[in-house]
Homo-oligomer: A and B are copies of this chain.
């Protein structure tokens, strides 16, 4: 059947994207030849699956956004936005770091309208959640939701990097991020 064919092709595309993600994390300047080699396919075949380097990067970027959006909706579906929402979000996103990390560094992506739109789209519900938590008394109201969102992102990225470099255990990463985000690094804060 033809759906078997297309399914196989889609699986192979996914495998290529996975390999590209994996390699680009280690070596952001990897060429398409490098990526093909790493994926274990010929360069010609790679070009049969992806239109261009630009398109590859865009797909990886949009894929990262998708991953975050899926995580968001899965968490959101559990219930209303409560005090644990951010905690759950961070815990769910940490293991996906490899897929998302290069988004922060790949500057070429920021020149894409589509990518910027996708990023804005995924950020909005998080910002909304932060606003809700500010109103609910969980987060400070003397900082903008924008700022808190950027700090959250920034902490996630640095944590992924630290975990990747083996400097902190992935098991303790989420807790560390949450603790730092909520209470900071000053001594004497009231925390549990």
Number of this chain's copies in the assembly equals: 2
The answer, yes or no, to whether A49 is at the interface (CB within 8 Å) is no
Which of the residues B28, B139, B158, B184 comes within 8 Å of A187, measured between beta carbons? Answer: B139
Report the interface size class on chain A: 35 or more
The answer, yes or no, to whether A167 is at the interface (CB within 8 Å) is yes
Cβ proximity bits A107-141 to B, threshold 8 Å, 1 near / 0 not: 11000000000000000000000000010011111
Q: Is the CB–CB distance between A182 and B186 below 8 Å?
A: yes
Residues of B within 8 A of A189 (CB): 140, 183-184, 189-190
Interface CB pairs A-B, < 8 A, 5: A139-B186, A139-B187, A151-B185, A180-B184, A182-B185
In the complex, besides A105-B107, A154-B158, 9 extra interface pairs with C-beta distance below 8 angstroms are A138-B187, A140-B185, A140-B189, A151-B155, A154-B155, A181-B185, A183-B184, A184-B184, A184-B189
